[in-house]
Structure formats: C-alpha cells, structure tokens
Amino acid sequence: MPPSGTRLPSNQVPQGTGFLAPSNPEVAEQGTGADTAAGSCSIPTLAPVTYRSVRGGNNRAEYHPFPRATIKEICKAHRTYGQDGPYFRGLLRADLSAEEVVPADLKYLFSCLLNPTEYILWVTAWKQLLQDALPGLLNHVNTRVDAQGNPITLEHLTGEGQWAEATDQVVIPVQCLHVVRHTALTVFFSMQTQGPVISYSKIRQDQRESFTDFVERLSRAIEAQVKNEMAREHILTEIAFSNANDLCRAAILSLPRHPKPTLPDMFQLTEGLHLKDDNWNFVSVDNSEEGTWPRVKGKLIVVGDCKHTPKEIEILPGTFDNNPGKFVLWLRCTHPPTFLPKGQIVAQIIPTWERPEEDKMPTACPVRKITEVKPQVGCELQKLKALEELVEEQLAKGHIVETTSPWNSLVFVIWKPGKDKWRLLQDLRKINNVIEDMGSLQPGMPTLTMLPQNWKLAVIDIKDCFFHIPLHPDDAPHFAFSVPTINRDALRKRYHWRVLPHGMKLSPVICQWYVASLLSPVRIAAEKAIIHHYMDDVLVCAPTDDVLSHALDLTINALVVAGFELQEDNVQRMPPWRYLGLETGKWTIMPQKLEIRAKIQTLADVHQLCGALNWAHRCDPDLPFKFIIMGKLPHLHGVIFQWRNNIKKDQGREDPLLIIEWVFLSHQRSKRMTRPQELVAELIRKARVRIRELAGCDFECIHIPIGLRSGQITKAMLEHLLQENEALQFALDSFTGKISIHRPAHKIFNQDTKFTLNLKDVRSRKPLEALTVFTDASGMSRKSVMTWKDPQTQQWEADVAEVEGSPQVAELSAVIRAFERFPEPFNLVMDSAYVAGVVSREDQAILQEVSNTALFELLSKLVKLVSHREQPFFVMHMRSHTDLPVFIAEGNRRADALAAPAVMAPLPSIFEQAKLSHQLHHQNAPGLVRRFHITREEAKTIVATCPSCNQHALPTLSAGVNPRDLNSCELWQTDVTHIPQFGRSKYVHVSVDTFSGAVFASAHTGEKTSDAIEHLIQAFSFMGIPKELKTDNGPVYRSREFCSFLQQWGVGHKTGIPHSPTGQAVVERTHREIKRVLNQQQPVLKTETPQTRLARALFTLNFLNSTFEFLNPLIVHHFGANPQ
C-alpha cells in the first residue's frame, strides 16, 4: 500500500477495502469491470479520498489522511505572508483543489490556521453557508444521497453526528465535497484580518502607486466586506475607476465608452503610469576625470548625441552663472519610461551587464541624481586627494592616530576661499547628541570700549587652538573617522583624534576653560595689565610699554610651555589692532573694513553698511559715564558716552565726546500700545543694566531732552512726569545721579530734534461735571450702541450701528463715535474692561501693527482722536447687568437693552429642550427621560439621530449586581489613562467607586507619585474617603511616599495581578467611557481648556447618565447609599 497522502499513478490500483462509491460523472472514460481488469481504463487517484475499481464497474472510495507536510507548508506560508498574501492564497487554493478533502480534514486544517475564537466564528459561518446550499444539493440527482443510499444532511456536510469520523465521510458524493470545500474557503477569506477595517469605498490610489497594486488592495477589501459574489466584480470595476488617482483616471477616460472598459483594459492602459515624473530632477555631470567614471551597468540616460535618446525623456543641459565650468542637466520623464532591452543602442552607449572588452570607456559622461539624503560614498578625486593630505598632515603632527575603534563618523573637506586651502571637517552630530552640555562659561565677548585711553595694546592669535588641547585617552576613540577609497580597491584607514576636534559641541567651552587656566597665573603676576581672552584670541593692555612687554612675555611663555603654536606674525604689537572683528586704533574702535554696498538688497547688506558706519572710542577711566536719549518717536535710541570738559591742546583732538556704546529698543514690543514714557523707561533700564556689565557702576547723569508742542519744559513738569509714570519710576529705581532735560553741545546730539511729549494728560483722574455717555455692544445682534441723556431736553438719545466682528471691536467703534460726536468734556462709561484699558492708554501711544486689519484701523483712529484732543474726558468701567438704583446703572441698563437682540426667541418645547441639552452634554437615553420626563422612544430617537453619538456610541449602563454586598466608598479602583489631545496635561488620573460607578478624573502633566496623591486628594473632596483602594502594581502605586499617604488617610491598599488588565476592568471600562464622552462633546468644547472639557465629561457621567432600572444618576446612587 502506498504511503498515506501520496498520489498514485493512473495505472496503479490502491489495495484495501472501503465503502462503495457511485460512478463519478465528472471523470472521463470510466470503464467497466472487464476494462478495469484489462487495465485499459483511467481510474481517479485522489488523496485523501481515493477510488479503486471493484466488480460491477463501480469505484470503491477509501480515506487517506491529509498530508502533514502539506499542512505544515500551508501554516508556514500563512505565518510568513499573512492571510492576504498572494502566495498563501494561491498555495491554499491549489492544495485544496488538487485533492478531494473531507469535512474532517477541512476542520483540522482551519483549526491550525485560526485561533480558537476565530475558529468558532469560521465554523458558525461555514455551517450557515452549507445550510443555504443544502436544498440545491437535495434537488440534484448526483448529490441527493450518499454512497450508502442515505439522504444528504447537514451533518454529512459538516462532519458531525454519526458522520464525525473521517473514514465515514468518504461516502459523501464528490460534488458535495466540492461545495463543502468552496464554502470553507469563502468563509475563511471573508474573515477580517487584525487591524482597523477600512471601507472599500475609502481605499484610494496613491500618486506613486501602480494601478495593479491599488486594484489588489481594493479586491481584498471587497472580498471581505461584500457577501454577494455576483456583485463583487461590478463593484470592483466601478470603485477602481472612481478612486483611481488623477493620472490613471484620465487615461481610463480615453477608452471607448461602448463597450464598457474592463479591468484588463484598464491594466493594459495604466501600466507604468506610476513611474511618470513631471518634476525636473537636477543631476551633475563630472567630465573632469575619465578614470573616475563608474562602471556602466543596466539602464541609463546619456547626454551626447541625443538623437537616439527616448522621446519620453526630456533633457535640458546648462551651466551656472557663478560657475560656468560646471555642466549640469535637468531631466524629467513626462510619460511612462521605456525599458530598453539588452543591446539596444542609446546615443553612444550600449546597456549591457558585461564589462566592455575595450579598455577605453564610451565617449559619454555618466550622471548621478542629487537628493536631499546623500550617503557617504567615494569622494571626488580632488577632494579625496585633499583629504588624504590633511590626514597625513594631522598624523605627522600627532593630532590623530590609527585606531580600531568601533565608532565612526562622516568626514569631508571644504574649501576656504579666503585662505585658498582645504579644511578638514567631521560630522559629529550623533556624538553631540549623547554628550552632556556644560553650559556657557563666557556668555559674551568683552567690550573694547572699556579699555583705558592711551594704554598700550598687543593682540595674540593662537594658531589651531583646538589642536593643542589633548583629549582624555578614554574619550578619544569616540571621535573616529574613516578615509574612503575609490572602487574599494583597498582597506579604509580609520583614525581617531587625540586633541579637541572641530565640530564637537563642547570644544569651545573646553578651549575657553583650558586657555583661561593658563592665563590665571599671568593675571596675578602682571596685575597692572588688563588681559582679555575669548577663544583663541588674547588681548593684553598695559599703561606703559615696559608693563606691556612684561605681561606679553609672560603670556607667550605660558602658552608656549602648554604646547600652543605661536608665530611672530600672529602677535600684533602696532596699531591698528584687529581683535574679535573690531579694528582698534589709538583713539577709535570700529568694525573691520568691509566693502560698502550702495545697493541694499538683503539683511546682510544692511548689517555690513551699519557696521562700516559704526564707531566708538576707548574710555577714560577718570571720567564718569553718561547716557542720553536720542531720535524721534517711535524710533528712539540712546548713547552711553563720556564727556571731557577740559580738553588739553596737546592731545591733538578737539572732540570732547567719547562714545562707548549705542543702545536700541527691541524691534518687537511686548505691548500692542506703548506710550512714549514707557519707551524712554525701557531705554533707561537697558542702559543701566549694560553699564553695570561693562563698568560695574551707574551713570552720573541721564539726559532726557524732551520737547513740548508749545512752550518749554520746566523742572516741575519733569517731576510731575516722574511721579505719574510707573514705568519711569521702576527704570530710575535707586538712581542717585542727575536727570537733565538739556543736551550736551555736540553736533551729533544737535542734529536730531527733541522728541515731543505732551505732559498734559487730557484724561481726567476723576469724574467730570459734564455729559455722561454709555457704550455697549453685542456679538449676537452685532450692534454697537452709544446712548446719553441730553442735558437740554433731559431725554435719552441713542446712536446704534451694526459692526462686524467681536463685541470688543463693536464697542471700540462706539467709543470712536463718541469722541467724534462730543469734542466737549464728557464722561465715558462702558462695561468692557478691555476697551476701557485701551482708551486710558491711547494718549500719544505708539501702536504696534496687528494682523486684524479692522481692529488696527480702529485703534489708529482712536489714537489720533485722543492724542489731538484738547478737552478732558473721564473713562469708567462698570460691571454689566448691575441692578443698582443710580444714574450710572440706569444708563448701563439702557445701553444693554439697545444692544440686545430685537426679538427674543420663544421658549422651546420640552422635546426641543431635551434635544438641545443632548447636543451640549450628550447624555444617554435614560438620563434624558429622568431630566425632561419624556418617553423612552423620544429619548432613544434623540440619541439615535445624534451624529456624534452614532460615531462614538456610549452604551446604556445596566444596573448590574452586587454579589459582595458592597456599599459606596468601600472599594475604589484607580488608574492612569492618556488623552493626547490634552497636550501637556494628557495624563488623566481616574478613580471609580466599584459599587455606585461614580467617577472622578483629573488631568496632570505626569504620572509621578505627587500627581497620584494630588488626584486622590481632589477625589476625596468630591466622593469621600474609601475604605480600600485597588490599583495596578506600577512603581507609582508601590512607592513608599504613596503608601505613607494612604496610611495617613486610613485607606487600605491592594494591587491586582501583574500584567492582567482584567483585575482593573471597572476602571478600564471607565477610561473608555470618559474618552467617548470627550469625543462626543469635542465639536462643542474644542476651544475649551482640558480641565473644562474633563469637568463637562464628568458632569455628564455622574449627574446626567442613568439606567432604565434606576433613573437616579450615579452620584445620587453613590451618596444615597453612604451619605458623607
């Protein structure tokens, strides 16, 4: 007997006994018993059910188990490629179609492919399909009865009951076995795989996806979601056309309408369309070194004799304006590319997989696409040669050594145009990410204006400062790099730095600290000299040549002994001295000379121009420092200076002004409206802070040259200004110097006119005996209202206008109309604190531009009206809707009434009230029944018609049981869930009472023990103190601080089973309910804070939701069972 499961040749008859099977009508050329004896008939030999010839011309069926190797191969393919994999689907169909399989083997096979739950679902659906197919089988003559004459039943088809044994199922007709196999495969492939289910109508073709891949994804989704097999092909054709991308849809529309295009027509037309590229791709052509051309293999694009280039490829050659010798190409493919066969000639190159026999490369330049991500490949020959020379130079100096370090960073060279040489640079970004920051030791550069006049200077420039500071031997291997080779013809050499490398983020800090440690003894030895140090630049300043020479020798010796390389041309002994980008002469300090651009086009041009025109002086240590404010509003600035009263003639200069530094205001101001007094105060504050940094002292005098519109400022006016302005009081706090309103006699100060300031404030500090105007606005009615009581007629008059925008904008419009209408003194009363604050600051205010054009125009108009007003006015803010029996309250009520909507909407019905309440809170149906006393059907209708509740369905709560006789506040469950839309407060701590279901949640910025304790304290104040608390076994709940807190409150504590979420089922279900309510209320509360949104959700869960068994909400159930 042959092995089980093997297929027998057609002329071999299996031995053994079995049940008698009827003749198979599907097998051709079935002979009689005589023919069989003669061996001239073709007998079907299928496994695991095979047939043998017996007397009478019939075939006997016998069972062979399904091959285990085949089952193993199917399961492996399912594991590797997944249920939707084409290979697995084809293998499964082929193996089951090649053999007659009984129900027992089908159930065994699919029990191996599915988990227990999925297998139950498969069996249920399989039986349902077989039940539907059974009537058709009973009506067919070949499938009506089995081989023993028994009518076919559902137990036959499913292998159950008396037909449970596999050997008993061989009597089932072959046609029935085909139906059983087909239904089993149909159910299996229609089962949804793990992951989110996407509707087939929402599957769309990506721009770079082929049409065949898109149709494959679509067909799988339709097969799983559409049960009607006859309708699947029609749906697939329609959706494939409607959801295709624009490129494929335009191509399909070019097909004839009659007959209707089929899927094969679409496949043929759209082949290769996803490879179309309308964008121009930039490629570089390196025709400098023929020996460096890469090997030509496969398909390529050639520039040269382009008459053979495919028409689908567009090529635009050209050069750059700044580099005419650099030849570049722009390529694009506006049609699907043509795939060239081997041997076809394109220009002068033949694509071939073999290396050409001739030694010389074809006469063409290979191209390479330049992308944003460039891998480290072989360098260009010139750069590689420069890299090797720089590495040899550093190796000879001992700065690097050969290494076998596992670390490796990219290295490259850059050309330095000013010095006409290459520079070695290493990409240390990955290393910098793991290095801890040390902070800045010297936040800024020293200011040379603080050097005393007539002192001698010398500047030292340390050459390659980083390369003279050694790295710790344990850290050096981390800074390794490799030198690439061409065509990988040799091993890459790897080196690591022994000194500070360029590119490491701590190199500047370490350099500052290292050089400063060398200069500290020098500063002590040469105490009369001033030594400034910043990075690799050192400046020595001394009162005499002898002191300078002594300090300079000490400094040079200290640096040379430490191993630094100094050259004589790197020591500047004569003026002008260049230090930190500044050029210092005997008298003045200015930036180093740059070419001044007459045509200003960029911000860099402005910086160069300003730097070339800027200059300053070195200070005189015997003179005090002063400060003056200059410029016109709103562009004020200041100057820190010194003034020489007695100028000696032998000094050779008659300028008494020594400019130390300029002070400017910030470009972006913190306030939308700023008064001139505040700008003056800001300049004074910045200047005082700066002079303390530079000299460690305060100003002797601050000049504030203020001009008036009429008349001349007096000392009394200045004192009044300082007393009334809070910003000036803070800026001049603890100032013991002088304040002057005059300017020193110098052409720089006199060329600018004094900035004018109106010291007389038209805004009164107390109510006036004058007309009182009330303003108000409403966002609903869009009304801007101004009302007043006419002093002559004693009648109330009003001015009402409609204004688009917010209520504040509408009320601001009313205020502007009041200033335009009443030039005489008047009192202005409003209920908007914002508008009241704006009006009080408008006098001579500097307005910052705002994005809202309408608001900016209103503010500009108000500034102009208030600044040019001559009569006083008084501004008063009053709370809205105040019921006080006074004149002010009466006018405010009239303004409110005029601003309110003209017609109030009638009170809605009870059903409409319930509908509006559900739109706001989204409570469940029992909660609506309890609150509004409507029927259950009406409540269910409201919930069913709500689109948000349909999308995020919240099931109706059930009363449940209480098997352990618990009461409220006996056992709580506490846990933490994450709600990403809350931002930083996404960690939501939740506590729920397991008896009543009452819940409390609070949003925090973390999951620390302090956050858990803060949450429980808030929960205790809301729901009471529980006897016992159940949590998971996370580190927060097992910490000593948390356990001590629970002991203080007398609360027991226990944890669930590790890694078992079922122990926290109540609080886990509460997490889901909170998130669903938040999603339902999202459209209404999307602009609210996370705390407000969470509070609204808790209000819905605790006070509004209920059950039909107990209409009282959870909070009533909670406190009704255990009042606290």
Architecture of domain 200-265: Orthogonal Bundle (1.10)
pTM over 0.85? The answer is no
Report in angstroms the alpha-carbon separations of 381 from 385, 419, 487.
6, 21, 11
User: Mapping DSSP to helix (H, G, I), strand (E, B) and coil, where does residue 269 land?
Assistant: helix
Mean pLDDT by 10 residues, the chain (1124 residues): 33 31 34 35 39 51 78 86 79 81 87 85 87 87 84 87 83 88 85 65 80 84 77 83 84 80 82 64 47 40 50 62 56 54 44 40 39 43 84 87 87 77 85 80 70 80 82 88 80 87 84 85 85 82 85 86 76 72 63 54 57 58 86 82 69 71 78 77 88 84 76 72 78 85 79 65 84 86 87 88 84 89 90 82 69 80 82 84 69 82 59 80 82 82 80 53 67 92 92 91 93 93 91 90 92 82 82 89 82 90 81 82 47
The answer to whether residues 18 and 6 touch, using CB atoms and an 8 Å cutoff, is no
φ/ψ of 977, rounded to 5, equals -125, 160
Report in angstroms the alpha-carbon separations of 1016 from 92, 618, 1032, 1072.
57, 65, 15, 20
The answer to whether residues 63 and 167 touch, using CB atoms and an 8 Å cutoff, is yes
Place of tokens 């400034």: 532
What letter would DSSP give residue 1102?
A: I
Helices (H), 278-326: none
Q: 244: buried, middle or exposed (CB in 10 Å: 19+, 13-18, 0-12)?
A: buried
Q: Which residue spans of the chain are classified as CATH 1.10.1200.30?
A: 200-265
Q: How many CB atoms lie within 10 A of CB 504?
A: 21
Q: How far apart are CA 778 and CA 785, in angstroms?
A: 9
Q: Which residue spans of the chain are classified as CATH 3.30.420.10?
A: 771-899, 951-1121
* pLDDT given at position 292: 42
In CATH terms, the fold of domain 623-646+654-756 is Nucleotidyltransferase; domain 5 (3.30.420)
Q: How far apart are CA 721 and CA 704, in angstroms?
A: 12
* pLDDT given at position 735: 86
What's the order of all strands across the beta sheet hosting 582-584? 577-579, 582-584, 588-591, 616-617
Q: How far apart are CA 172 and CA 161, in angstroms?
A: 14
Contacts of 947 (CB under 8 A, 6+ apart): none
* pLDDT given at position 199: 78
Q: Which residue spans of the chain are classified as CATH 1.10.375.10?
A: 68-190
Digit-coded pLDDT (tens) for 368-411: 443 333 334 445 677 888 888 888 888 888 888 998 888 888 88
Digit-coded pLDDT (tens) for 416-460: 766 678 888 888 888 888 888 877 777 667 776 777 777 888 888
Q: Which CATH number fits domain 68-190: 1.10.375.10, 2.120.10.30, 3.40.1190.20, 1.10.260.40?
A: 1.10.375.10
* pLDDT given at position 1004: 94
Q: How far apart are CA 495 and CA 596, in angstroms?
A: 45
Q: How far apart are CA 484 and CA 768, in angstroms?
A: 87
Contacts of 231 (CB under 8 A, 6+ apart): none
* pLDDT given at position 28: 34
In CATH terms, the fold of domain 381-584 is HIV Type 1 Reverse Transcriptase; Chain A, domain 1 (3.10.10)
Residues forming beta bridges with residue 530, ordered by sequence position = 541
* pLDDT given at position 287: 44
Q: Which residue spans of the chain are classified as CATH 3.10.10.10?
A: 381-584
CATH says 771-899 is which class?
alpha beta
Q: How far apart are CA 876 and CA 968, in angstroms?
A: 54
Q: Which CATH number fits domain 951-1121: 3.30.420.10, 3.90.1150.170, 3.50.50.60, 1.20.1370.20?
A: 3.30.420.10
